[in-house]
Amino acid sequence: MAAFGTGGIRSQGRGPSLGFRFTLYAILSIVVMFLDQRHGWLEQARFVLQAAAYPIQLAVNSPSAAWNWLSESFRTRESLEAENARLRKQQHELELRTMRYDALARENGELRGLRDALPSVADRWLAAEIVTDSHRQRIVINRGSTNGVFKAQAVLDDKGVIGQTTHVGPWSAEVILITNPEHAIPVTIERTGLRTIAVGAGDEDSASLALPYLPGNADVKPGDQLVTSGLGGVFPAGYPVGRVSEVHRDAVQPLAQVRATPYGNVDSDRDVMLVWFREGHPAAPVAATTGDLQVGNKTLQPQPAPPPHPKATPPATQPETSNTTPPANNPTAPHTANSSGGARKPASPSGTVNPSPAPSSNGGTAPAPASAEAAPATKEPAPVEAPKNPTSEQSANPPPKDP
Amino acid sequence: MSWEVSRGRILFSTLIALVLTVLPLPELADLIRPSFLVLTVLYWSVAAPRAAGVGLGWFAGLLLDVFQGPVLGQHALVLSLVSLITALEHQRIRSKPLFQQSLIVLVVLAFYQGVVLAIDGWTGHPLPSPLQWIQCGTGALIWAPAATLLAQGRRA
């Protein structure tokens, strides 16, 4: 049995030849790829395509949505009561913690000589639902530009940072997860104040982060908590990212191999949060397009900045981008790192983040005295989220992680 | 008896294939799921090379890019290339029995996968898991039923 008829043959010879048409389409695709990859000039086209794709995404997601709805509606009274009790307990705990947090924030403000405690860095929250499962460490959520979502917006869940928006359609947005190998997020190790970059190291079936820029004698150990450092222009300072899961120090390698497990988990929870940040707040992310590092309101800056050391400033490719580059001498950053997390330890007494790793904790190979300077040097790829050109498109797709 | 293929039928089957391709599935099923969209485009470029052909491949690929691709135009380029090859060879492919067609489809799917991976590499995107090559095999296995189904639909 032939599965094919002769349809189409009779129209052979009409119109331009197949090869010619293919050449046209091939050129078109290459141009599209080039524009999309290099310049992000296709935002408008992406916007339209995203809108066109959204109904299909909803349709393909409807079976699992229906299943969730069904299992939700057929729950027993006991399980609902149990959940209610659990939530009430949790709410009490959170209330207590908030009270303590308020007191701490006030005290912190007083200690810094501020008249009033700072308002919370998050200005507005919007809950969103995940529409499609993660494919290549990207997800689609059901909020778009009609809800005010913008490109390179931070996406969190109740446990930590999830990712940031890369493409925004009218009713939906694509989110790149922090575990995507194309994504890098500037973090601080909470225990030591050491700043570095966490690069996605997830694949199809596991979510993990790598910290590839830590020297072999850096003070890091399993269990250390990673929080956002506020650099890079997307995430505000002080939000939990993950926990260091393993540290390997190899005698022949100058850098430690550090892995971390992210807190945020899109597999277990369908709800995420989009956050708008108070502009000018010291803990707000440094805007990638402004020309200087002075974050926000001068009156909110508690004390004169320590003198920056010029050596840590990597050579900026373009003068405008120097704002997000210096990882170590940004006077505002130690402050921002402290101002949002209520009970966090100070980064370091000197006001800079140069860590002074304890010699006892090094792997026994790298010379200890050089380490304090080695740390910022290896952190030079810090501006991974900083745009190569100051357009906001680039900051949403953090460039490859190699320095 | 008319063999004229209606464009509506082509578009409809392509849309269904797209939905099947992006439908969220459990991990194992997702691993072995063939790209129904590529199979459908292959079928139509063999069955109706003028009505479908390169243009269908390009637009289907662009849709796939919107859903799955890190860079716009990647699947569009490769799918239009694959549909060009099959459309040029459509007479030779049609004359073969379904089993041999499956072997050809296996080669074409492997070629497709290879070029997609190459573009991933050139554009600096991370490569998907090597287990994805299994999808070429399942695609070839499912070719015979899929082609029969699409042909039935056309005759009706």
Q: Which domains does chain B have, with CATH numbers?
A: 7-155 (1.10.1760)
Percent of chain A with pLDDT over 90: 7
The per-residue pLDDT of chain A, averaged, comes to 69
- Count the helices and strands in chain B (H runs, E runs): 8, 0
pLDDT class for A126, splitting at 50, 70, 90? confident
* ipTM surpasses cut 0.85: no
Lowest-pLDDT range of A32-41, A189-198, B46-55: A32-41
Task: Give the per-residue pLDDT at A4.
Answer: 55
Q: A131 with A172: CB under 8 angstroms?
A: yes
Q: How far apart are CA A194 and CA A224, in angstroms?
A: 11
pLDDT class for A160, splitting at 50, 70, 90? confident
A138 CA to chain B: closest CA distance, Å? 9
Q: How far apart are CA B65 and CA A316, in angstroms?
A: 34
Of residues A315 and A185, the one with the higher pLDDT is A185
Task: Give the per-residue pLDDT at A205.
Answer: 63
If you average pLDDT over residues B27-51, what whole number do you get? Answer: 85
Q: Does B152 touch chain A (CB under 8 A)?
A: no
* Residue of B49, B54, B57 with shortest CB distance to A8: B49
How many beta-carbon pairs below 8 A join chains A and B? 147
Contact A52 B66 (CB under 8 A): yes
Task: Give the per-residue pLDDT at A134.
Answer: 61
Task: Give the per-residue pLDDT at A373.
Answer: 37
If you average pLDDT over residues A327-353, what whole number do you get? Answer: 38
What burial letters (b/e) apply to A320-339, b meaning 16+ CB within 10 Å?
A: ebbbbbbbbbbbbbbbbbbb
A28 pLDDT exceeds 80? yes
Task: Give the per-residue pLDDT at A349.
Answer: 39
Q: How far apart are CA B57 and CA A279, in angstroms?
A: 46
Identify residue A401 by its one-letter amino acid code.
K
* Residues of chain A contacting B119 with CB distance shorter than 8 Å: 33
Q: What are residue B35's phi and psi, to 5 degrees?
A: -80, 95
pLDDT class for B110, splitting at 50, 70, 90? very high
Task: Give the per-residue pLDDT at A89.
Answer: 94
Mutate to test the interface with A, among B77, B117, B142 (most CBs of A within 10 A): B77
Q: What does DSSP say about strands A184-189 and A225-228: parallel, antiparallel, or unpaired? A: antiparallel
pLDDT class for A314, splitting at 50, 70, 90? very low
Three-state secondary structure call for residue A249: coil
* Residues of chain B contacting A5 with CB distance shorter than 8 Å: 3, 5, 47, 151, 154
Lowest-pLDDT range of A39-53, A227-241, B85-99: A39-53
B109 pLDDT exceeds 70? yes
CB neighbours of B62 closer than 8 A, spacing ≥ 6?
A32, A49, B72, B73, B75, B76
Of residues A29 and B155, the one with the higher pLDDT is A29
A129 pLDDT exceeds 50? yes
A371 pLDDT exceeds 70? no
In terms of CA atoms, which chain A residue is nearest residue B24?
A: A133
Contact A26 B77 (CB under 8 A): yes
Of residues B92 and A345, the one with the higher pLDDT is B92
Q: Does B130 touch chain A (CB under 8 A)?
A: no
